């Protein structure tokens, strides 16, 4: 009898234990469900806050729609000051001012809106360069890196043929290049900019160079540009060399502003076709592809007009135009990353678009005595801007010339 009662007690204790464990599991499960719901709510709130800032978290814990771009290598020639502007290496444009950013490098200056470095013989060498964006809580939003290379100045003579638009039509660029090289560059082309020969045409796009396009904006006028082969009806580098007799040591392609669009594919593909056509004839010819410039501020974009007072960029705004430049730069870098003897010139990210456009003084409002400075042009910089482009091009040439002389 005692054994039966003892077994009954054990069974009751076992049932009580199972019931208690079941209750505990249910309670813990409820707590976990509530905790998970709370966590999901917090995550949703955080994602909404991030989306409001224009960023979305991806699987790696960074933020997928904040894009940064730095070339694998950035060259700085001895004697030149090169600057990288925060808003011009990011898809955020000027909105990057809402974030916290820093440049990390053993040399140079980590400044508020840029990284600045002056090349010297003593600093010649390679340095890791890192750019990082943080949110207000100190969390990393995005990062990009490059190898900063400070290189010796090049003074050797070489010939250069420039294919470009109006951004290649200012004498300040060539004057600065001549200053840096002690007048050792021999310029080639059928047109002239000051005392330098070029193939630069105002208003021309890459599409114009690929088609039967005439030129009437300057003397001498042309029924069709000299790169167009009437028999094949296409851009033909071999035909150009044969008919002009030019044999340059290097070519520069500086296009993109004309033909700029939200979708970079058509404009980008036209530029790619020009580069590839050159290399079909001259596979060893070094080609320097210059990324086009970011425009002036919104005052410059919105008030830019022709001589009759008609708005040229009346329906455009700064972020949209900046994104077009950024996307074209990214597209060209991706499409041409395997092209041999091609060297990108990051003029777009190294040109001070905030300060390099000429301005005029106008009243703050029609009857105001207070005045403000407004850019007079949205696309073409002043003299300082063209000299800054030359510094960037010269630095890349100094860093790469040994590769195409081998």
User: Are 123 and 173 members of one domain?
Assistant: no
pLDDT attached to residue 313:
82
212 in a structural domain: yes
Mean pLDDT of 110-120: 97
User: Are 182 and 197 members of one domain?
Assistant: yes
At residue 210, does pLDDT exceed 80?
A: yes
pLDDT attached to residue 136:
87
Mean pLDDT of 89-99: 93
Domain count, the chain: 3
pLDDT in tens, 50-78: 444 444 343 444 445 789 999 999 999 99
pLDDT in tens, 359-393: 999 999 999 999 999 999 999 999 999 999 999 99
Contact between 351 and 229 under an 8 Å Cβ cutoff? The reply is: no
CA distances from 337 to 72, 274, 334, 341, 343 (A): 11, 15, 5, 11, 10
At residue 100, does pLDDT exceed 90?
A: yes
Per-residue pLDDT band for 13 (boundaries 50, 70, 90) equals: low
Q: Which helix (H) or strand (E) holds 277?
A: helix 265-281
pLDDT attached to residue 71:
96
Contact between 256 and 312 under an 8 Å Cβ cutoff? The reply is: no
33 in a structural domain: yes
68 in a structural domain: no
84 in a structural domain: yes
User: Are 220 and 107 members of one domain?
Assistant: no
User: Are 44 and 6 members of one domain?
Assistant: yes
pTM reported for the whole predicted model:
0.84
CA distances from 197 to 168, 188, 280, 315 (A): 11, 5, 24, 36
Residue the block writes with tokens 């056509």: 277
Q: What percent of the chain lies above the pLDDT cut of 90? A: 76
Q: What is the CATH number of the domain that holds 227?
A: 3.40.50.1110
User: Are 130 and 260 members of one domain?
Assistant: no
77 in a structural domain: yes
- Of 156 and 224, which is predicted with more confidence? 224
Cα 201 to chain centroid, rounded: 23
User: Are 177 and 231 members of one domain?
Assistant: yes
- Out of 127, 151, 175, a domain closes at 151
pLDDT attached to residue 197:
97
140 in a structural domain: yes
- Out of 96, 125, 151, a domain closes at 151
Average pLDDT of the chain to the nearest whole number: 88
Domain of residue 398, residue span: 158-405
281 in a structural domain: yes
pLDDT attached to residue 95:
92
At residue 88, does pLDDT exceed 70?
A: yes
Residue 284 token pair: 């060893």
pLDDT attached to residue 54:
40
pLDDT attached to residue 29:
54
Q: What is the CATH number of the domain that holds 94?
A: 2.60.40.10
What is d(CA 325, CA 291) in angstroms, rounded to the nearest whole number?
8
CA distances from 237 to 190, 283, 316, 333 (A): 14, 11, 35, 22
User: Are 8 and 111 members of one domain?
Assistant: no
66 in a structural domain: no
The burial class, CB within 10 Å (0-12 / 13-18 / 19+), for 366 is exposed
- Indicate the DSSP class of residue 400: H
Per-residue pLDDT band for 310 (boundaries 50, 70, 90) equals: confident
pLDDT in tens, 235-292: 999 999 999 999 999 999 999 999 999 999 999 999 999 999 999 999 999 999 999 9
At residue 35, does pLDDT exceed 60?
A: no
What is d(CA 30, CA 65) in angstroms, rounded to the nearest whole number?
37
Q: Which of 2-6, 147-151, 204-208, 212-216 has the lowest mean pLDDT?
A: 2-6
pLDDT in tens, 279-290: 999 999 999 999
pLDDT in tens, 176-193: 999 999 999 999 999 999
């Amino acid at each position: 009898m005692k054994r039966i009662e003892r077994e009954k007690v054990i069974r009751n204790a076992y049932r009580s234990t199972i019931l208690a464990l079941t209750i505990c599991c249910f309670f813990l499960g409820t707590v976990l469900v509530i905790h998970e719901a709370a966590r999901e709510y917090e995550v949703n709130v955080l994602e909404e806050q991030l989306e409001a800032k224009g960023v979305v978290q991806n699987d790696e814990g960074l933020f997928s729609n904040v894009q940064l771009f730095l070339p694998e290598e950035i060259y700085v020639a001895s004697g030149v000051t090169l600057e990288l502007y925060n808003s011009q290496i990011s898809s955020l444009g000027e909105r990057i001012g809402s974030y916290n950013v820093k440049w990390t490098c053993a040399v140079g200056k980590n400044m508020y809106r840029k990284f600045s470095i002056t090349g010297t013989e003593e600093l010649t060498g390679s340095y890791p360069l890192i750019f990082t964006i943080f949110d207000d809580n100190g969390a990393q939003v995005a990062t990009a890196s490059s190898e900063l290379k400070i290189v010796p100045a090049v003074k050797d003579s070489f010939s250069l043929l420039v294919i470009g638009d109006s951004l290649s039509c200012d004498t300040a660029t060539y004057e600065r290049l001549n200053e840096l090289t002690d007048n050792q560059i021999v310029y080639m082309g059928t047109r002239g900019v000051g005392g330098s020969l070029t193939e630069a045409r105002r208003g021309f796009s890459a599409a114009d160079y690929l088609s039967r396009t005439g030129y009437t904006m300057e003397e001498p006028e042309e029924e069709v540009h000299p790169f167009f082969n009437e028999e094949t009806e296409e851009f033909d580098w071999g035909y150009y060399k044969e008919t002009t007799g030019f044999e340059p040591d290097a070519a520069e392609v500086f296009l993109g502003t004309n033909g700029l669009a939200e979708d970079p594919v058509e404009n980008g593909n036209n530029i790619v076709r020009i580069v590839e056509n050159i290399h079909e004839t001259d596979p060893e010819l070094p080609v320097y592809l210059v990324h086009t410039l970011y425009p002036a501020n919104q005052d410059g974009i919105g008030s830019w007009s022709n001589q009759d007072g008609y708005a040229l960029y009346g329906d455009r705004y700064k972020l949209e135009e900046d994104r077009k430049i950024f996307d074209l730069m990214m597209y060209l870098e991706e499409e041409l990353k395997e092209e041999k003897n091609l060297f990108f010139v990051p003029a777009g990210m190294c040109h001070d678009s905030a300060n390099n456009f000429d301005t005029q003084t106008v009243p703050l409002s029609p009857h105001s005595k207070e005045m403000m400075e407004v850019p007079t042009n949205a696309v073409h910089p002043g003299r300082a801007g063209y000299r800054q482009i030359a510094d960037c091009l010269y630095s890349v040439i100094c860093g790469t010339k040994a590769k195409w002389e081998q």
